Structure 1
Amino acid sequence: MPRPPVGRDTTLCMSLSGRPGNFGSRFHNHLYEAMGLDFLYKAFTTRDLSAAVGGVRALGIRGCAVSMPFKEACIPLLDGLAPSAAAIESVNTIVNDDGRLTGHNTDYAAIAPLLRRHGVAPGTPFVARGSGGMAKAVVSALRDEGFRHGTVVSRNEAAGRRLAEACGFRWQAEATGAPLLVNITPIGMQGGPEAEELSFPEALVAGAQAVFDVVLLPSETPLIRCARALGKTVITGMEVAVLQAVEQFRLYTGLSPSEAQIAAAAAYARS
């Protein structure tokens, strides 16, 4: 059944990001079309977060994905937090129920299934680079999945120490080797100032068993390319994006797409 023509009754969903991309718009709109839903998704950025979130409420926008650098800054503007967001004080999804805005974190929900899918055991020691909102989601998910031996590495010592201590891990300024390496920074991000850089030295990648890079674009970051060339297990940011976007879709629409529909939407979003 085709999606109805856009009209006054169309439900709008959106995203807010410092660097808007096309993945969310393409993924969600493909599913709306496939399932015949009168929904429309559009990506935005803003220099006035308070006004933007106020617009979500005032205009009846059903859902809003939240990316860097707004995941923590948006919290005081909301009416409440779901357990997934409250536990880590980071929001990547806002759901609007008749003017009441609730923050969720679907990034957090995506991490454990991905680790299990790739056979990364909870006892695996890890080093995670990053201390922002996405880092909170990933490191908290590692803790809650039973990982007990971890180190947080970050340029921002205060934020890194807070995250490490909150989750029961260590902080240090420079990365050392571990069986699992996790990049939760913009290093390697397409269009960024460090787009061609490795977030971990090649020698550390060579000594690892698995490498996880949350950067979405490109899906084959310098770190992922290096890890593949060395025969390591890899988990990409694209995989995270798909799982968390499916959960957003469920929150916005109340419906669950089929595995075939998810696969088709993901392939379209990557193209």
Structure 2
Amino acid sequence: MSALRHPARPPIGRDTRLCMSLSARPSNFGSRFHNSLYDQLGLDYVYKSFSTKDLPGAIGGIRALGIRGCAISMPFKEAVIPLLDGLEGSARAIDSVNTIVNDDGRLTGYNTDYSAVRALLAQAGIGRDTRFILRGSGGMAKAVAAALRDEGVERGLIVARNADAGPALAATYGYDWAADLPDIADTPPLLINVTPIGMAGGDEDALPFPEAMVAAADIAFDVVAFPVETRFLALAQGLGKRRITGAEVAVLQALEQFVLYTGVTPDAGQVRIAAEAARAA
């Protein structure tokens, strides 16, 4: 269904549909992005972010209360899988979920991170001959590694201190693994941070890669979306490097979630307004 002009969003009532997110560190991004689009399109939906220490209870609540959709963030992307009724597409392929859609009590997991990352890699011209270092081994790292593989990237290094998850991730996607970063002389063109290093609420001044390694690379990709300008991205900008930002990933994956939840595809101008609202202080 294409985006059409709608009347103002109806007042919240018994027919209002609820969408939500679950994260260890809830942010305002999803709430502001989705609610902005509901306002612009006049949709009878509302979106709210939550955290939980009871994941089975939260997922049961989604099913029991008819909550239409739920975004899933760290650290729940893999733990949520046994609680769902099925997986679609890339979520099944990479065993990681960032989106739940509730169809009359049947909960299906999707992974819109994967499609967002793959689109951005293609846009940046990253392909077969681009070597990379990916730092991290969690659910988002799976989405990024799968996107790299499916864009034809043949050579890369997964750096993760988790001696179980790191080698397993590398083996699954055909890349090498190391517990620590290599020497500066071995810096590849593409550096990817898929850890919480630099995230708001943590050590925002930390760098996932040494300054000399960033200087030696060509492209910096940080999946951290908050703050929008991480120290890693700011350093890369100052050094004249190309960048792929977590904010770009956040917008593309949230847009796909919005379409899954509502069946409505907003136009580019509406998405731009929603993205600006989501990034507001």
Aligned to 1:79: 85
Aligned to 2:219: 210
Correspondent of 2:18 among 4, 12, 16 = 12
Aligned to 2:273: 264
User: 3-state SS of the aligned residue for 2:46?
Assistant: strand
Deviation at 1:175, TM superposition (A): 1.8
Aligned to 1:245: 254
Aligned to 1:108: 114
Q: Percent identity?
A: 62
Matched, 1:61 2:71: no
Aligned to 2:27: 21
Provide TM-score, normalisation by structure 2.
Answer: 0.95
Deviation at 1:120, TM superposition (A): 2.8
Alignment of 1:88-103 (within 5 A): 88-103=94-109
Larger CA deviation: 202-211 vs 108-117: 108-117
User: 2: distance between equivalents of 1:8 and 1:72?
Assistant: 33
Correspondent of 1:3 among 6, 9, 17 = 9
Deviation at 1:117, TM superposition (A): 2.1
Matched residue type, 2:170:
A
Alignment of 1:155-194 (within 5 A): 155-176=161-182, 177-192=187-202, 194=203
The answer on whether the counterparts of 2:121 and 2:151 sit within 8 Å (CA) in structure 1 is: no
Deviation at 1:11, TM superposition (A): 0.3
The answer on whether the counterparts of 2:78 and 2:139 sit within 8 Å (CA) in structure 1 is: yes
Matched, 1:38 2:44: yes
The answer on whether the counterparts of 2:126 and 2:151 sit within 8 Å (CA) in structure 1 is: no
Q: In structure 2, list runs of 5 or more residues that go unmatched.
A: 1-6
Deviation at 1:121, TM superposition (A): 3.5
Provide TM-score, normalisation by structure 1.
Answer: 0.98
User: 2: distance between equivalents of 1:269 and 1:102?
Assistant: 26
Deviation at 1:83, TM superposition (A): 1.4
Q: In structure 1, list runs of 5 or more residues that go unmatched.
A: none
Deviation at 1:246, TM superposition (A): 0.3
Matched, 1:222 2:231: yes
Deviation at 1:237, TM superposition (A): 0.3
1:40-99, Cα deviation, whole Å (9 max, x unpaired):
000000000000000000000000000000000000000000011000000000000000
Query: What is the count of residue pairs matched by the alignment?
Result: 270
Distance 1:121 1:144, change over 3 A: closer
Matched residue type, 1:189:
M
User: 1: distance between equivalents of 2:115 and 2:227?
Assistant: 22
User: 1: distance between equivalents of 2:269 and 2:115?
Assistant: 21
User: 2: distance between equivalents of 1:137 and 1:149?
Assistant: 17
Matched residue type, 1:99:
G
User: 2: distance between equivalents of 1:261 and 1:157?
Assistant: 44
User: 2: distance between equivalents of 1:89 and 1:239?
Assistant: 23
Aligned to 2:3: none
Matched residue type, 1:236:
T
User: 3-state SS of the aligned residue for 1:157?
Assistant: coil
Aligned to 1:234: 243
Correspondent of 1:50 among 29, 49, 56 = 56
The answer on whether the counterparts of 2:122 and 2:151 sit within 8 Å (CA) in structure 1 is: no
The answer on whether the counterparts of 2:127 and 2:151 sit within 8 Å (CA) in structure 1 is: no
User: 1: distance between equivalents of 2:77 and 2:89?
Assistant: 15
What is the Cα-based RMSD across aligned positions, in Å? Answer: 0.8
